Chain A
Amino acid sequence: MASVPTTAPESAGKKKKVEDVGQIPQWKLMVRRFRQSRLSVAGGIVLICMYIIVILAEFIAPNDYQKIEADYQYARPSEITFAAGWPGIYAQQAILDKENFTWTVETDYSTVYPINFFVEGHSYKILGLFESNIHLFGVQAPAKLYFWGADGQGRDIFARVLKGGQVSMSVGLVGVTMVIVLGSIIGTASGYFGGMIDNLMQRTIELIQSFPTLPLWLALAAALPREMPVVQRYFFITLVLALVDWTGLARQVRGKVMAYRSADYTAAALAAGGSHLRIILTHMLPNALSHIIVVAALAIPGVILGETALSFLGLGMLPPAVSWGVLLRDAQQVQVIMLYPWMLTPGIAVVLAVLCFNLLADGLRDAVDPYG
């Protein structure tokens, strides 16, 4: 093509600078900004660790989370000793108090049982795929390793918290996936097309949002048959949780899409003959994506807490399935907490997970919108 009519070359200094930043996509700039908030990065790292541990729950936990040990009712967390120069524990024994006719668990300080790594134990499947019977830790019988003590039926709380985390921490992700799907589709449609569609959707959202959340969850969860298989129940519970949460995302996406819809680059794409679907896929969604991720990250703690609350009230996951809410149900009575405070460890897990998600989401929000 023809020669250059007017050139606008930059000064040498500027050129160098542009080469530096100019070719970096916006999302990379966001990642850079995210990295600057240390607390959020820390939150993210803790979460990643938590997910790895939870996925490998059976491998990491020394005991079977379901196995009832009558001899170890409310066993204390094992005392770890370095007496042998290697971490080890003392065995605990159930002793019958012959005067009161109650069993108490007492620690026998005579022998140290060293903690071994990669020991054989009960067999399990990770993610239902890889079968194995190797465990990260273990001690020799008759000692039993209870990091966080045992519950009223002598089941290992450490194993149960890890296993319960599989439900509680995935419910957030699965639930939020549903939130994203519902929220983005409805929000995009509402914001892009406007008019009647928008009006209808917005009124529906207002209606859903005007219900008090907890009673709605309770009603929906109570409608699920109690004999439903665990997996199915899990799926429905996340659906119940997502059903309320998508409205917030839909509103946010709608707002964003409305702004992008009125941006001139949308007009340019229309003027070039671009179809609505193409514009939505190439301009609306990619631009809204960062906001969707942020809103989703902010919604995850809500879903986790929702599941915990429902299960705690006995309407979410039901035993024998375990989740943090189910576990906390065992710690309902003040007496239990007074006598066996280690029953509250699932609560610490919930707090940690929710806190980390909130930190992460906070950093993401700042990264996406530095002025927000």
Chain B
Amino acid sequence: MTTVPSDDILLEVKDLKKHFPIHGGLLRRVVGQVKAVDGVNFYIKKGETLGLVGESGCGKSTTGRTVMRLLEPTAGEVIFDDPKLGKVNVAKLDSKQLKQVRPNMQIIFQDPFSSLDPRMTVGRIIAEPLVINNVASGQALRDRVADLLTVVGLRPEHASRYPHAFSGGQRQRIGIARALALNPKLIICDEPVSALDVSIQAQVLNLLEDLQKQFDLTYLFIAHDLSVVEHISNRVAVMYVGYLVEMASTEELYHNPKHPYTEALLAAIPKPDPRNRHRPIRLPGDVPSPANPPSGCYFHPRCRYAKDICKVERPKLRDVGNEHWAACHFAEELQLAGVPRYGKSAHAMPLPTVPPPLPNKTKSESAPAPVSGD
């Protein structure tokens, strides 16, 4: 589908589908399908971050897990450029080949509590991928774990502790260390900061950015917070009811959206600026159920621009120029409002700065600072 040279592409997902059967009746026969992911197409270039946004239940997490083959895809291809095997279709690999490819794709989870086995020490948790793949053992294993802990900003002696002794942000760091253990090429970040407080969220986002530079990582960053996605992504894809509605560079997507749903999403973000209060675009009705989606374009019952064709024909995701993909019949015609551009000089709201300590008030110069680092 792409116009990008295929050498630059690390992962390409073609028409990926994941349907969950609905069982009913006494004999638990299949009475329907939840089309959690229904024909998703996207690609990720080497070294970039693709943000995948959407509201809850839109299938973004399922997409991430299906790409990893943690869920078996119903249909479609997942072409991954493995450093050893070359381009392989992950969706079709047998278990032996899959085991070879998996170290190169790792995942970071949302819930910092359920992602760490409470019965294992942090050291064992981080060592698990290394042990499974027979990468290291004995002292080498312990050294590698200590290295990984340092890389994510924890201390090597944390290895002997159990997860319950750590805060949410630290647990997320442990999860990141585990994902890094096998030197992956691609990391799928499944809402990695959604469960964290704002200040901790910033720590983890900064860490992810640093690690990307340091280890040349490629991220698929799944999130529902559009500000976070804008901050971290090079390109962004928007999902609605199991389908990609728009994909473009972050710049393009936020300032020049081509899909009415993206426009509504962007307008809904509560802006942290009291002088810029706004009324959101009213989306009538609710997000349709993926078990029983509407006809034609899934967004048409809520779309204020919908015309007759939208009720009948489902628009394909197509390149409307400049690597900007949109699944709307009127992508070229519609003039949609994005986020206003704040220039560097004309930033709407100045960032406040923390005042320095007042030297005349500091009473004991010799007292050590209570914390170090950062």
The chain A residues found within 8 Å of chain B, CB to CB, are 1-2, 4-12, 18, 21-27, 199, 263-265, 267-274, 278, 282-283, 286-287
Contacts and interface: CB of A to CB of B under 8 A. Distances in A.
A22 B162 contact: yes
Nearest to B151: A1
A26 B162 CA distance: 8
B161 A26 contact: no
A6 B162 contact: no
B292 to A, nearest CB: 24
Contacts of A283: 117
Contacts of A265: 114-117, 125
Interface of B: 28, 65, 68, 70, 98-99, 102-103, 105-107, 109-111, 114-119, 121, 125, 128-129, 132-133, 147-148, 150-151, 153-154, 160-162, 164-166, 169-170, 173, 175, 178-179, 181-182, 203, 206-207, 210-211, 214, 370-374
A309 B229 CA distance: 67
A264 B150 contact: no
User: Nearest 5 pairs between A and B by C-beta?
Assistant: A22-B165, A7-B373, A272-B129, A264-B115, A5-B210
A7 B372 contact: yes
B109 A264 contact: yes
B161 A22 contact: yes
Nearest to B154: A8
Nearest to A29: B164
A220 to B, nearest CB: 30
A18 B167 CA distance: 11
Given A7-B372, A265-B116, A271 B105 contact: yes
A327 B175 CA distance: 60
B128 A272 contact: yes
B162 A9 contact: no
A20 to B, nearest CB: 9
Contacts of B109: 264, 267-268
A24 B65 CA distance: 33
A283 B114 CA distance: 12
Contacts of B110: 264
B150 A272 contact: no
Contact of A6 (B148, B161, B203): B203
B119 to A, nearest CB: 5
24 contacts: A1-B147, A1-B151, A5-B211, A8-B170, A8-B203, A9-B371, A9-B372, A21-B164, A23-B121, A23-B161, A26-B162, A263-B115, A267-B65, A267-B107, A271-B102, A271-B107, A272-B102, A272-B132, A273-B98, A273-B99, A273-B103, A273-B132, A274-B132, A287-B118
A5 B207 contact: yes
A121 B214 CA distance: 82
Contacts of A282: 128
A18, A22, A24, A287 interface centre (most CB from chain B within 10 Å): A22
Contacts of A273: 98-99, 102-103, 129, 132-133
Given A268-B178, A269-B132, A11 B70 contact: no
Contacts of A1: 147-148, 150-151
B132 A6 contact: no
B102 A2 contact: no
B142 to A, nearest CB: 14
Contacts of A272: 102-103, 106, 128-129, 132-133, 178, 181-182
Nearest to A3: B150
Given A18-B161, A22-B161, A272-B102, A8 B114 contact: no
Contacts of A271: 68, 70, 102, 105-107
A350 B169 CA distance: 53
A9 B119 CA distance: 24
Given A5-B211, A23-B165, A272-B181, 5 more contacts: A2-B214, A24-B162, A263-B114, A272-B103, A272-B132
A299 to B, nearest CB: 23
A328 B307 CA distance: 86
Contacts of A7: 153, 372-374
Contacts of A2: 151, 214
B162, B203, B210, B373 interface centre (most CB from chain A within 10 Å): B162
A276 to B, nearest CB: 10
A7, A18, A25, A286 interface centre (most CB from chain B within 10 Å): A7
A22 B122 CA distance: 10
B125, B154, B165 interface centre (most CB from chain A within 10 Å): B165
Contacts of A8: 153-154, 169-170, 173, 203, 373
A278 B374 contact: no
Contact of A287 (B115, B119, B121, B372): B119
Contacts of A263: 114-115, 117
Nearest to A290: B119
A287 B162 contact: no
Contact of B373 (A9, A12, A269, A274): A9
Nearest to B146: A1
A117 B152 CA distance: 69
Nearest to B214: A2
B268 to A, nearest CB: 29
Contacts of A23: 121, 160-162, 165
Contacts of B148: 1
Nearest to A21: B165
A265 B107 CA distance: 11
B115 A4 contact: no
Contacts of A21: 164-165
Nearest to B204: A6
A11 B118 CA distance: 24
Contact of B128 (A24, A269, A286): A269
Contact of A18 (B105, B165, B206): B165
Given A8-B203, A265-B114, A278 B132 contact: yes
A286 B207 CA distance: 32
A321 B68 CA distance: 62
A11 B114 CA distance: 26
Contacts of B211: 5
Contacts of A270: 70
A126 B70 CA distance: 56
Nearest to A265: B117
Nearest to A269: B128
Contact of B115 (A10, A25, A268): A268
A265 B128 CA distance: 10
B117, B162, B175 interface centre (most CB from chain A within 10 Å): B117
B74 to A, nearest CB: 15
Given A23-B160, A272-B103, A278-B132, A5 B117 contact: no
